[in-house]
């Protein structure tokens, strides 16, 4: 089976010479949901940009569904990948939500009833069809997050890259988003700090730290490793802490 995402010794440096990714290698199978976690500045967003073809590694390569992401194959590779930015404002820029979701298919030549049906289905799938004629800037944070997802899923990408999808969401919106992401069948790489989300819906977790891939394995086993987590400026998720340790942590935060 051809891997959905394959990173082969990927290295990337910023213009000032700072290393963002240092020979990162991994393979993700079609349909897998994988969490990409690490401290701020670990290289998570840079890796997502490279997979989506918005940046190119100086060394190594990324292959999406058998297609290498490079300048020659960029158009073909980008058809396979949908990138959900951390800030929905980076994806919602049209007068209405309907227009935002229609933007991609319209630019691929879809029109008339076929376009209308496709857009309405994408909105309905996310449960936001009643917001079709709303200005995206007037939507709540949770609604805008689902709207961003609709603008990408309407293009039927094989692979979804999500950057901090649950950031700044209230508990209800976060839980709704987790349910929706967990129900998708696309290959998903979810980058962020929401470790409980990773435990809920991911079958694997990658830890990226200092541009290096530190760990790759079962979410519970990886995220429960206190020594591993603390050495990479992370904390064991509350749901994996022993009861006594959770109680002590809660009391220390109240002081």
Domains and CATH numbers, the chain: 5-92+148-254 (3.40.50.300)
Average pLDDT over residues 130-134: 96
CB 83 within 8 A of CB 159: no
Q: Is residue 243 pLDDT above 80, yes or no?
A: no
Q: What is the rounded CA–CA span in Å between residue 54 and residue 70?
A: 10
Instruction: Give the pairing of strands 59-64 and 67-68.
Output: antiparallel
Q: What is the rounded CA–CA span in Å between residue 248 and residue 3?
A: 44
pLDDT tens-digit readout, 15-35: 888 899 999 999 999 999 999
Average pLDDT over residues 42-63: 94
Q: 0.85 exceeded by the pTM? A: yes
pLDDT confidence of 127, banded at 50, 70, 90? Answer: very high
Query: In b/e form, how buried is each residue of 194-224, taking b as 16+ CB within 10 angstroms?
Result: bbebbbbbbebbbbbbbbbbbbeeebeebbb
pLDDT score of 17: 86
Bridge partners for 36 per DSSP: 191, 206
pLDDT confidence of 47, banded at 50, 70, 90? Answer: very high
Q: Is residue 250 pLDDT above 60, yes or no?
A: no
Average pLDDT over residues 215-237: 96
Q: What is the rounded CA–CA span in Å between residue 120 and residue 154?
A: 10
pLDDT tens-digit readout, 87-120: 998 899 999 999 999 999 999 999 999 999 999 9
Average pLDDT score, the chain:
93
User: The tokens 């541009």 sit on which residue?
Assistant: 211
């Amino acid at each position: 089976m051809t891997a959905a995402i394959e990173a082969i010794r990927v290295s990337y440096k910023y213009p000032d010479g700072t290393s963002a990714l240092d020979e990162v290698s991994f393979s993700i199978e079609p349909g897998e949901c994988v969490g990409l976690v690490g401290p701020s500045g670990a290289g998570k967003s840079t890796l997502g940009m490279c997979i989506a073809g918005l940046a190119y590694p100086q060394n190594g390569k990324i292959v999406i569904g058998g297609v290498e992401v490079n300048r020659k194959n960029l158009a073909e590779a980008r058809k396979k990948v949908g990138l959900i930015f951390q800030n929905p404002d980076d994806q919602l820029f049209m007068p209405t939500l309907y227009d935002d979701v229609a933007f991609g298919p319209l630019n691929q030549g879809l029109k008339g009833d076929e376009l209308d049906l496709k857009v309405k289905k994408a909105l309905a799938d996310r449960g936001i069809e009643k917001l079709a004629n709303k200005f995206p800037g007037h939507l709540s944070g949770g609604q805008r997050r689902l709207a961003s997802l609709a603008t990408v899923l309407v293009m039927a990408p094989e692979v979804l890259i999500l950057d901090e999808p649950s950031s700044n969401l209230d508990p209800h919106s976060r839980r709704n988003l987790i349910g929706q992401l967990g129900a998708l069948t696309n290959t998903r790489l979810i980058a962020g700090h929401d470790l409980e989300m990773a435990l809920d819906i991911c079958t694997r977790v990658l830890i990226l730290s200092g541009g290096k891939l530190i760990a790759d394995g079962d979410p519970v086993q990886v995220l429960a490793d206190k020594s591993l987590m603390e050495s990479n400026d992370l904390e064991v998720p509350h749901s994996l802490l022993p009861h006594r340790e959770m109680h002590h942590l809660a009391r220390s935060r109240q002081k």
